Structure 1
Amino acid sequence: MANSKSGDSSLDRLVRILSAFGADAPSLTIGALAVRANVPLATAYRLADQLLSHDFLRKDASGSLRLGLGLWELANRSSAALDLREAAMPFMEDIQAVVGQHTQLAVLRDDEVLVIERLSGRDSVVNQARVAGRLPVHRTSAGMVLLAFAPVHVQEAYLRGHPNAFLPSETGLADSRQALALVRGQGFAAFNGLVDEETTGIAVPVLGRGRIAVAALGVVVARDEGKVHSILPVLLTGARGIARAMGEHVD
């Protein structure tokens, strides 16, 4: 594709346009979109028109732009995340029925936790995780599990790239390496108040070959309910079931 005067390609600009939308900005005016995507206004108009014609963007009642269903359709035709979600769903439904709180599935992506699926009940506690949303690795139990059971070079790259990544001092595990070693040694992560003060996140790895985590399976429950060890067997059973359903074999 043709390059702009700044040297970036049309594809680069299209990706920035689509990536500008998020949980904090599900709807954008063309002017705001141009700013967030760092493209000239005329370019934003031109690319938005092209994306609208393919239903990758759509206009809402106010005339602002939103992501369109065309993207969803394209992503769901062939997706590793979809395969993982389909394998996990029966086990997640069982866990959610037992625990009665948020049950979620996540993977490690670009140094962040990417939420693949979340099931919630009517009386579930507050939870900032959203499907297709991202959270910091070192501020979630799922993230700590994913990193603890990642290859060593992935751990080292994360720690080098995030030298200030550490857990709150009240966990007693302010040192990241100490925290990862503990999580790997015990086989799960359970932390209070990492994202929301009143909740506890509990997560276990879905292990693949070489005991590397292909995903994290977790729940978010009310803090200080003392449920960690009663919930762990359900999570561990579900994680093993997901691994088998995906054809993963733990060494």
Structure 2
Amino acid sequence: MSSVPVSLLGRAFALLSVFTADRPSATLSELSRHSGLPLSTTHRLVRELLAHRALERDRDGRFWIGLRLYELGALSPGALDLRERALPYLEDLVEVTRHNVQLAVRDGLEVVYVERLSAVDAVSILTRMGSRMPLHATGVGLVLLAFAPHDVQEEALAAPLKRFTSRTIATPKALRTALATVRRDGYAISDRQIEPITHSVAAPVRGSSGEVVAAVSVVVPVETATDTVLPAVRACGRAISRAMGWRS
């Protein structure tokens, strides 16, 4: 465990960092244990965070990230601008495909989903808005990593590659090959890497200078042929790119 932060702000962030997609709620003792903060300090900070709506508490005494943090996060200039420009095209993509549509950006070696839309009868998936996944195991992640700076790619290749299913990319050699394929083809297909019942088809979103700033994907049931949605996904990526100021 890393050293406990000294400043009040550092301790508050250590506490909030306990919450993850796999651990969306926690008890007071769990917050103390996972953050490395004394129970008395944790209690004091939790009381302050509750008062400012940064945390919420349910009837069972478990704590959750509060709406105030969600409100502040939504004001991030990059994410806000991207989501606003992308939303009309994401809605069109849902209408065309009738599946799950996702928009994601890279944060370090993880994907952060900044938007997710789903048709009523779309297959159930794990991801949600604000959740994170490793780059190597998702369609959007493969796109973002394939076009990331060289040092980011090498860091990902050197890091442990978490396996979710028997089809998850789990070796540096396989990942290097997959990234080369994405760069050659201009899109990624993640074949049952996260769940054995879904494929993900992803395409890049470029900014005004041509750099890949995000990725868009459609998640479909495994029995759905990926080539039936690939043209629409790629068209959506190009449309959002143009809305972001990119000119081919």
TM-score, normalised to structure 1, is 0.87
- The separation in 1 between residues aligned to 2:5 and 2:232, in whole angstroms, is 52
Residue 129 (structure 1) aligned to one of 107, 124, 127: 127
User: Do the aligned residues in 2 keep the contact of 1:100 with 1:121 (CA within 8 Å)?
Assistant: yes
Q: Which residue of 2 aligns with 1:115?
A: 113
| 1:50-129 correspondence to structure 2 within 5 Å | 50-129=48-127
User: Do the aligned residues in 2 keep the contact of 1:85 with 1:116 (CA within 8 Å)?
Assistant: yes
What is the aligned-residue identity percentage?
A: 40
- The separation in 2 between residues aligned to 1:170 and 1:239, in whole angstroms, is 25
Superposed CA RMSD: 2.4
SS at match of 1:175: helix
- The separation in 1 between residues aligned to 2:160 and 2:64, in whole angstroms, is 36
Are positions 1:229 and 2:233 aligned together?
no
| 1:124-203 correspondence to structure 2 within 5 Å | 124-160=122-158, 162=159, 164=161, 175-203=174-202
**Residue identity matched to 2:23:** A
**Residue identity matched to 2:8:** S
Q: Which residue of 1 aligns with 2:244?
A: 246
Q: Which runs of 5+ in 2 are unaligned?
A: none
User: Do the aligned residues in 1 keep the contact of 2:206 with 2:244 (CA within 8 Å)?
Assistant: no
Per-residue deviation, 1:231: 1.6
Per-residue deviation, 1:163: 5.6
Give the ranges of 4+ consecutive aligned residues of structure 1 lying more than 3 Å apart after TM superposition: 5-8, 163-171
Cα deviation, 1:49-68, whole Å, max 9, x if unaligned, reads 11112111122223332222
Alpha-carbon spacing, 1:77–1:225, altered in 2? closer, same or farther (3 Å): closer
TM-score, normalised to structure 2, is 0.88
Cα deviation, 1:136-188, whole Å, max 9, x if unaligned, reads 1111111111111112232123223x1657996698x9522211111110011
- Count of residue pairs the alignment pairs up: 243
- The separation in 2 between residues aligned to 1:176 and 1:144, in whole angstroms, is 9
Q: Which runs of 5+ in 1 are unaligned?
A: none
